[in-house]
Structure 1
Amino acid sequence: MKLRDLFLLPAALWFAVFILLPLLIVVVVSFATRGTYGGVEWAWTLQNYARAFSPRYLGIFFESFQLALVTTVVCLVVGVLISWSMATASAKLRQIYLMAMVLPFLTNLVIRIYAVRMFVGAEGPLQTGLTILGVPFDPYALTQNKVLVLYGMVTTYLPFMVLPLYGAFEKFDFSLVEAAQDLGAGIWKILFSVILPNLKTALWAGSLLVFIPSLGEYVIPDLLGGAKNMLYGNLITEQFLKSRDWPFGAALSVLMMVLLLGLAALFRLREARHGK
């Protein structure tokens, strides 16, 4: 055995014990049956997967898919603009921008989301300001709605889009932009014909980094959406913690993992073809 293999062995063991084994347990439980009092009975069935494809749960999945897709698109548009500005800024400003982008990660996600709730909540700055201005509003609709959930998702996952794009912009040859301007190209022509084609890998990587966790997110919709928004991540959490239907929750988790692994495989396939 080579010395390199010896160093890789602890990492391989850690991956097998703490990642592959729990995933295998989830897959096995997904074929089991829920007991009368919420336990797991080892009576093998495909009913959990058949139930997951019922119209009710497919509707929840497509709503979650739509929210994750909109979050990814918004992060993509905003991320391109921010990373472009960061890459073309001076060295001093670049460090400040990077610090401002990474700084929120030093705070727990739940604390950041509760800060948003306090801002729009009762006696918060937003409602207090609207009251002073005499603007009528519904305090419940203001604190729990889909727009607020989207805002929380975008602000949470925007750095996952900005950082890969910023790395790509740092390597980008901006003389191509100057050449396009000399040839009379407008800003949109430059963006879609010069800049974005050279950032395809970073765009795909950032989109996956945003879309994958957004699809299974449950903390943000739960805190900012309340009972109005049942998304796929909330559905899985409810099966494990409230309904105590572990086999069905495991089946939902397996289906989501298969979808996300398929997206990652498509990305790798695209990268392999692009490399050739």
Structure 2
Amino acid sequence: MTAVSSIHPTAIVDPAAQLHPTVAVGPYAVIGPQVRIGAHTSIGAHCVIDGITTIGESNQIHSHAALGGGPQDKKYAGEPTRLEIGNRNTIREFCTFNTGTIQDQGVTRIGDDNWIMAYVHIAHDCQVGNNTILANNATLAGHVQVADWAIIGGLTGVHQFSKVGAHVMAGFASHISQDVPPFTMVDGHPLAVRGLNLEGLRRRGFSAERLAVIKQVYRVLYRSGLTLQAAMDALQNLHGSCEPEAQADVQLMLDFLAQSTRGIVR
């Protein structure tokens, strides 16, 4: 373990753990031997960080988080699977993130600049992108994918293997059991699409021209009465007629629809 000046004397840090000298560790935290933590990350009181866990730089991990525990999967037999957390994430109190399983890629990943509120659970093999918000008690079952800039409301559960697209906003206490296409707002149980996340897109600098194309995409997918395959064909035609920046938005939707495995919310 690299010498660290700001480890609280009551913390238990395994000598084999690799901590950057600028890492701060709070009272009664426990850090296991296969943990690596990057510069300027702070670990709150009573946190437990275990397993083969890599945490990047400038993360703020609040008290009582449990990161890197084995997957809650009865098939798990102690295989050396991993948890990887990027940079500049805020992880609030009592969050639980598990390592992956060999039935998938063997790694659970959280990207950069995410705001993860208290009591959030991220299960084995989840892939969470960048700039997401997971509100209090949001729960991701195994193998879930959450793309960049998605917002998942408090007390929302996401069924295993479901995909949540980029720029999605899922409302409070939603039940997500199908794939949620990019740019949409959804909520409820059963889940329903309520419209486009236009305010979120505006805040992220989407131009009026891009928004106009995204509205066309939404009309094709949700208002045209077309089958999913016919809607995808229509989106291909729209893709060919757009400006390059808007083409990327249409392509994002097309790629998501092509990769959907649970069927989309529609």
Q: What's the TM-score once normalised by structure 2's chain length?
A: 0.21
Q: Name the structure with the higher helix share.
A: 1
Q: Name the structure with the higher strand share.
A: 2
**RCO higher in 1 or 2 (8 Å CA, sep ≥ 6)?**
1
The structure number with the bigger radius of gyration is 1
